[in-house]
Structure 1
Amino acid sequence: MSRFFDLISDIHLDFWVKVDSNLRKMEKKIDLFVDSLVPTSPSNVLVIAGDLGHYNNQNVIMLRSLMRYYESIVMVRGNHDLYLVSGKQSKKYKWLSENRWREMKDFVNQLPGLFVLEGDTITLEGITFGGTGMWYDFSYGIIEHGKTREELDQIWSKEIRDRKFIKKQPDFAQEEIRFDRIIDESDVIVTHVGGDWSQLLLNARYVKGDSIPSFYFFDGSRWADRLSGKAWCFGHVHDHYDYMRNGCRFINNAKGYPRDNPGAKIKTVMI
């Protein structure tokens, strides 16, 4: 029996709808943006694999707008959901990104039908979703390009905005624990950062000594023998993927920035 859910990630709302002090005006614009994302016949469940946007008040408006179409929304944290992009934001959240994410989770808990996964599972429409944000571990550059962790740390500090805008980085070891405990129970695994970079190796723009993808994926190969028969939804990279590996279906349906996938919409997935 076929089961369905809808999928999107990396919405980056504030790149599509500017923050506006006129709340009603912003709500109307967000409604129009959401209308442009939703497929003609949406499923009952929407999965958002991280990166709503940089402002919690905007994100809540968008989630409420999406609930016009969906009975349930399942989401995980993305790296941009931790960003403090201004001094005003940093002061508001006491220079700690986790405070912003905690506020977002408090909002979600007040809205029926919305669920944040952090090492948790939930069964909706006969599908067990399990997820956590996960994080990158620099392994791509180490394995594919022979870089040292110290070399990659230098590249990360200079080139990746996470270093600047996330106040106190996530604990990768804790994320691994969360990830490990949801795999076996899940029909659909949801993370923001993906655990398989095999498709990058088919793309010439990533294989010619470019170490930046070290901050796009983590090494999920240690869990490969536990993935068969499952679907793994992820984001973080704004390329679209839908392929099979180790008996698992890997799916990325990122919206991304306006320059990336301007026509991208929510995707209906059948499993």
Structure 2
Amino acid sequence: MKIDILSDLHFDNYFYNKYTKDDVISFYSQIIDFNNCGDVLVIAGDLGHNNHQNIKILKILKDFYKNIVCVLGNHDYYLVGKENKSLFKGSFERVFNMRELINKQENIYCLDGDIIEINGVKFGGCNGWYNEGYLQVNYPDEFFPKYSTNIMWQNCTPDYKNILEIENFDDIFEIEKPKIERVYKECDVMITHVNPSAKKEYLNIKYQNPSSTFFCFDGEEYLKNGSMKYWIFGHNHDVIEYEEHNVTCICNPLGYYNESGNGKFVQIKQIII
């Protein structure tokens, strides 16, 4: 099976209210070889801020793939704009709606602590989130109280205000952790939005400081004891690939338009399993 990998597509960073199917195909032809698509497209979170736009673009991409498997990311919780604020009472309602819209489509799956088997390959995953793992692993002799880490989180990620119904930087991790634990021993390909390793060598050197705790979680036990051959993630907006405990971990993000630089975009990453 050939699997294509992307994350952090941020649809609304590239497409606005007036766009056509041809616009979408023309743009993604810079990234995806539509003549050599994999059997499955895996998207590791951060589709965009508008659920209706997200599903419309996923359906366009589905014309070229037999299956699409995704999880949601932090931006998929954000309530921004009048439409979202009128449609949803909170972030979790928006996430539930996005997942429901995706899973109503034929052969498009949004994982939430469950496993989907496609041609004998088991894909497991959930949105995931970050925790204090980076601080514990890389600063073992220092104490970071929750209130100070929350202040650092608010300063480093000011768009946290767009996520309603949470108080602490790791509240969503506590919700997502049991979902990871339901599937990590049973899948061939694991998918989360957030990097499962808290080791600093698996992050861009410019981010190797305490704020990196908001870009990963300590998933050492899952990598060590899981059944997965691949762990696909996003969130970092850096192309990352490393091997830990015989698991190949891959991040292949598109990111924001202003990160692409001179019209150069990340190319689809294809693996065979």
Partners of 2:123 and 2:234 in 1: CA distance: 16
Give the superposed CA RMSD.
2.0
Structure 1 residues 198 and 30, CA gap change in structure 2 (3 angstroms): same
Structure 1 residues 158 and 115, CA gap change in structure 2 (3 angstroms): same
Residue 2 of structure 2 aligns with an amino acid whose one-letter code is F
TM-score by length of 1: 0.89
TM-score by length of 2: 0.88
Aligned residue for 1:174?
Answer: 175
Aligned residue for 1:193?
Answer: 194
Q: SS in structure 2 opposite 1:193?
A: coil
Residue 140 of structure 1 aligns with an amino acid whose one-letter code is Y
Aligned residue for 1:206?
Answer: 207
Aligned residue for 1:118?
Answer: 112
Residue 204 of structure 1 aligns with an amino acid whose one-letter code is I
Percent identity of equivalent pairs: 32
Structure 1 residues 229 and 139, CA gap change in structure 2 (3 angstroms): closer
Q: Indicate yes or no: 2:219 matched with 1:220.
A: yes
**Which of 64, 71, 92 does residue 59 from structure 2 map onto?**
64
Structure 1 residues 201 and 244, CA gap change in structure 2 (3 angstroms): closer
Q: Indicate yes or no: 2:43 matched with 1:48.
A: yes
Residue 219 of structure 1 aligns with an amino acid whose one-letter code is D
Partners of 2:201 and 2:159 in 1: CA distance: 21
Partners of 1:107 and 1:188 in 2: CA distance: 23
Aligned residue for 2:25?
Answer: 31
Report how far residue 225 of structure 1 moved.
2.5
Q: Provide structure 1 residue ranges, at least 5 long, that are not aligned to the other structure.
A: none
Q: Judge which range, 152-161 or 181-190, deviates more.
A: 152-161
**Which of 146, 150, 162 does residue 149 from structure 1 map onto?**
146
Aligned residue for 1:131?
Answer: 125
**Which of 60, 68, 72 does residue 73 from structure 1 map onto?**
68
Q: Is the 8 A contact 1:79 1:162 kept in 2?
A: no
Partners of 1:202 and 1:57 in 2: CA distance: 33
Partners of 1:247 and 1:110 in 2: CA distance: 35
Q: SS in structure 2 opposite 1:84?
A: coil
Structure 1 residues 26 and 216, CA gap change in structure 2 (3 angstroms): same
Report how far residue 251 of structure 1 moved.
0.7
Q: Is the 8 A contact 2:40 2:66 kept in 1?
A: yes
Report how far residue 197 of structure 1 moved.
3.3
Aligned residue for 2:158?
Answer: 161
Report how far residue 151 of structure 1 moved.
1.7
Report how far residue 228 of structure 1 moved.
6.2
Q: SS in structure 1 opposite 2:266?
A: coil
Partners of 1:204 and 1:75 in 2: CA distance: 28
